[in-house]
């Protein structure tokens, strides 16, 4: 079978062109994925009501755990594979890929067992009230049954990008998003399935793209070779994948813990309506952070490959350019969200109280967003270099170390406003930490120092 070598351009194309070619498809893919999350909320808000949106908000931490495990395997595997390719160790890269596939099988079995036996209890644990629980369960049950599709698409998307094929990685994100947008009104309204229809539409869309990705590997369009005989849990490889991917897991899983804490405080100091409003704003925040994540994802394979190839000047040029781009993106987002918060809320709901509450909350929550880009880049950078400790610290910082304690503490003195104020304070503290780590490692990461020949 003929194989395509997509990765060599990572070591020789101009950095500006390379970052653009890898980032723009990633940004488009992330935008479209975020958009279909927004569309889910939009259809459910108008078709069922704000309580159903609250049900999705409670269910979202469960989905975030699924994405967290997939991200750990996918990003960890992508980092190891890109460095193997940079070192010209193609057979080793194929073995890593086989181990990633074996881990996907394990995740799929775990998701199926959870759906069949533990989902109700899990949703109650995550804060579902009696009024919200039916909506949460109806949405998550089909999604949990389809864990195999989520795990495969999320993990392989990072693998595909790690070999420099950002355009196809974008396609694998765009296809399920478009299918989901088309299928949502059919399942929710035409088939009268309500919230359950949104979950079924999501699974069907992810299943369709899974077969499209399999075709990519089977036809030999990848730098990697799909061989079912290589699908096995090699302990040493699993350890390397998970040690690098663990910070990504922590980042996503901490997002789940953050959502649980926020939902609990919103219910304690407010109402189900406040949970629904936060669910809308949280989807908007996901949408606005996508440009930065897209640029960071474009940076990672360039940094990982050139680190493995010992081309440190190219690595540093990539890092500096990425920092400039994400800071510009974050400043632009703050300007837009401060200027048009009410308009953003009216897209999702006609409830006057929800619009008023959401407008105030949005302005508070986005006040420190212009600082977020540095932490995003720093976390991706340390993952790409295979440096799990600083990557883990950065992954823990915003949501676990700073945001959750602030969310639990501030409402005791400031009520609902304290929940929203926790966000800009956590952004500031995370920025300080990321800046400190980058400054500490400036000689080996950000500037040309005497360690050039020794690596990072």
**Mean pLDDT computed over 342-363:** 87
pLDDT higher than 70, residue 421 = yes
- pLDDT at res. 449: 41
The phi and psi torsions of 126 (rounded to 5 degrees) equal -85, 5
- pLDDT at res. 364: 94
**Mean pLDDT computed over 433-442:** 86
Sign of CA pseudo-dihedral 165, 167, 169, 172: negative
Cβ-based burial of 446 (10 A; exposed 0-12, middle 13-18, buried ≥19): middle
pLDDT tens digits for 396-405? 788 888 999 9
Q: In the chain, what are the helix, strand and coil shares in percent, each to the nearest 5? A: 85, 0, 15
Q: C-alpha angle 136/140/142, rounded to 5°?
A: 140
- pLDDT at res. 6: 54
Residues with Cβ within 8 Å of residue 407, at least 6 apart in sequence? 258, 261, 262, 265, 418, 419, 422
Rg for the chain, CA atoms, rounded: 21
pLDDT higher than 70, residue 1 = no
- In order, the DSSP letters of 8-65 are GGGGTS-HHHHHHHHHHHHHHHHHHHHHHHHHHHHHHHHHT-HHHHHHHHHHHHHHHH
CB 241 within 8 A of CB 103: yes
Range in 50-54, 201-205, 352-356, 416-420 with the lowest mean pLDDT: 50-54
pLDDT higher than 50, residue 453 = no
Better pLDDT: 30 or 195? 195
pLDDT tens digits for 83-93? 787 778 877 88
CA nearest to 345, candidates 288, 300, 281, 401: 281
pLDDT higher than 80, residue 454 = no
**Mean pLDDT computed over 262-275:** 86
Residue 336, both tokens: 């837009």
pLDDT higher than 70, residue 2 = no
**Mean pLDDT computed over 121-144:** 87
**Mean pLDDT computed over 153-171:** 81
Confidence band (pLDDT; 50, 70, 90) for 161? confident
**Mean pLDDT computed over 280-294:** 83
pLDDT higher than 80, residue 58 = yes
Residues with Cβ within 8 Å of residue 167, at least 6 apart in sequence? 21, 25
pLDDT higher than 60, residue 3 = no
> Can you tell me the distance from the alpha carbon of 5 to that of 220, in angstroms, rounded to the nearest whole number?
10
pLDDT tens digits for 114-131? 888 888 888 888 878 888
- pLDDT at res. 117: 87
Confidence band (pLDDT; 50, 70, 90) for 446? low
Residue 355, both tokens: 């619009």
- pLDDT at res. 303: 84
- pLDDT at res. 97: 85
- pLDDT at res. 8: 63
Count how many Cα atoms sit within 13 Å of the Cα of residue 313 in the half-sphere of its side chain.
Answer: 3
- pLDDT at res. 419: 93
What percent of the chain is modeled with pLDDT above 70? 95
- pLDDT at res. 455: 42
Residue 194, both tokens: 């309500």
**Mean pLDDT computed over 14-33:** 77
pLDDT higher than 90, residue 258 = no
- pLDDT at res. 447: 59
Q: Is 226 helix (H, G, I), strand (E, B) or coil?
A: coil
**Mean pLDDT computed over 375-379:** 87
């Amino acid at each position: 079978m003929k194989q395509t070598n997509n990765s060599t351009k990572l070591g020789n194309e101009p950095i500006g062109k390379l970052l653009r070619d890898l980032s723009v498809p990633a940004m488009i893919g992330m935008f479209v994925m975020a958009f279909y999350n927004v569309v889910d909320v939009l259809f459910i808000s108008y078709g069922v009501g704000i309580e159903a949106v609250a049900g999705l908000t409670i269910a979202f931490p469960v989905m975030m755990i699924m994405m967290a495990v997939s991200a750990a395997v996918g990003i960890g595997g992508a980092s190891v594979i890109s460095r193997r390719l940079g070192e010209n160790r193609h057979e080793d890269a194929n073995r890593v890929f086989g181990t990633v596939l074996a881990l996907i099988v394990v995740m799929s079995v775990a998701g199926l067992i959870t759906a069949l036996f533990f989902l109700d209890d899990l949703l109650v644990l995550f804060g579902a009230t009696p009024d919200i629980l039916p909506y949460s369960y109806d949405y998550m049950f089909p999604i949990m049954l389809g864990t195999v599709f989520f795990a495969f698409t999320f993990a392989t998307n990072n693998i595909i990008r790690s070999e420099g094929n950002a355009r196809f990685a974008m396609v694998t994100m765009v296809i399920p998003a478009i299918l989901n947008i088309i299928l949502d009104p059919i399942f929710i309204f035409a088939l009268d399935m309500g919230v359950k229809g949104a979950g079924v539409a999501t699974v069907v869309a992810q299943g369709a793209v899974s077969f499209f990705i399999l075709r990519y590997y089977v036809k030999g369009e990848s730098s990697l070779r799909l061989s079912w005989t290589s699908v096995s849990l090699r302990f040493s490889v699993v350890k390397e994948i998970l040690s690098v991917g663990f910070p990504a897991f922590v980042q996503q899983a901490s997002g789940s813990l953050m959502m649980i804490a926020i939902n609990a405080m919103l219910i304690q100091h407010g109402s189900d309506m406040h949970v629904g409003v936060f669910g809308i704003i949280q989807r908007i925040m996901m949408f606005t952070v996508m440009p930065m994540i897209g640029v960071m994802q474009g940076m990672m394979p360039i940094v990982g490959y050139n680190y493995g190839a010992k081309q440190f000047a190219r690595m540093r040029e990539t890092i500096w350019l990425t920092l400039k781009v994400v800071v510009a993106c974050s400043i632009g987002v703050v300007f837009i969200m401060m200027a048009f918060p009410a308009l953003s809320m009216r897209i999702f709901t006609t409830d006057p109280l929800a619009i008023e509450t959401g407008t105030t909350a949005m302005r508070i929550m986005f006040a420190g967003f212009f600082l977020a880009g540095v932490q995003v880049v720093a976390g991706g950078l340390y993952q790409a270099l295979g440096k799990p400790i600083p990557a883990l610290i950065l992954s823990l910082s915003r949501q676990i170390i700073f945001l959750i304690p602030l969310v639990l503490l501030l409402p005791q003195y400031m009520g609902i406003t304290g929940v929203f104020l926790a966000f800009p304070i956590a952004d500031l503290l995370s920025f300080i930490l990321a800046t400190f780590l980058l400054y500490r490692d400036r000689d080996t990461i950000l500037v040309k120092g005497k360690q050039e020949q020794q690596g990072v």
